[in-house]
Amino acid sequence: MCDIDMCFAHRNGFTTTRCSVVNWYKANPEDGIFTEPIDDKNIFYWRGVIIGPANSPYENGRFKLTIIAGSNYPFSPPKIKFETRIYHPNISGDGRICLDLLQKNWSPALTISKALLSIASLLNDPNPEDPLVFHVAQMYKHDRQQYDKIAQKWTQTYASSADSSSSVITKNK
């Protein structure tokens, strides 16, 4: 079975072979990260799902992401954005993600799977010193119990399995 990084390797390699994107793909199923092509005719656009990490306020949430690899990938980072609302200091209301790896610290040696793993890690370990949402970062730093309570409520409201219609989740539970 092909995965997201293999599809882009085929696209950017010397061969004209295109990865067949008919089935759902798992990026890192053991880490709760799944990917699928949005359209099997265009490997530039993918959908991802990250399962909220255990022992975090996001536990068991199903967070949908859009992944766009531009024509210069892997020499420039993919554009990854949350589609599911999330209460997090490093993720804006419109889904933008503040993560150095997706900006100035990107390297062609990195992969989309590694970027998704870093995003999953950010859920477990927010960086309130470099926030996109200042008031959420302040709550994280000064009232962690209230932050966790609100993040759990948002997870239940916006990222519950009952709310998720993505078959990446249902096929890979």
Average pLDDT rounded to a whole number, residues 134-159: 98
Q: Which of 2, 7, 19, 98 is catalytic?
A: 98
**Vertex 83 angle, CA 77 and 85, to 5°:** 120
Task: At 79, list the tokens.
Answer: 């554009």
Confidence of residue 17 (pLDDT cuts 50, 70, 90): very low
pLDDT at site 5: 62
Average pLDDT rounded to a whole number, residues 122-144: 97
Average pLDDT rounded to a whole number, residues 2-25: 46
Task: At 68, list the tokens.
Answer: 């766009």
Q: Is 2 a catalytic residue?
A: no
Encode pLDDT of 19-47 as tens digits.
433 333 455 566 789 888 888 788 889 99
Exposure b/e, 46-55, CB count within 10 A at least 16 = b: bbbbbbbbee
Global pTM value: 0.81
Encode pLDDT of 157-171 as tens digits.
999 965 444 455 444
- The residue type of 145 is Q
Domains and CATH numbers, the chain: 4-171 (3.10.110.10)
Contact 117, 31 (CB under 8 A): yes
Strands 42-51 and 62-68: antiparallel
What are the C-alpha distances in Å from 159 to residues 51, 87, 117? 9, 11, 18
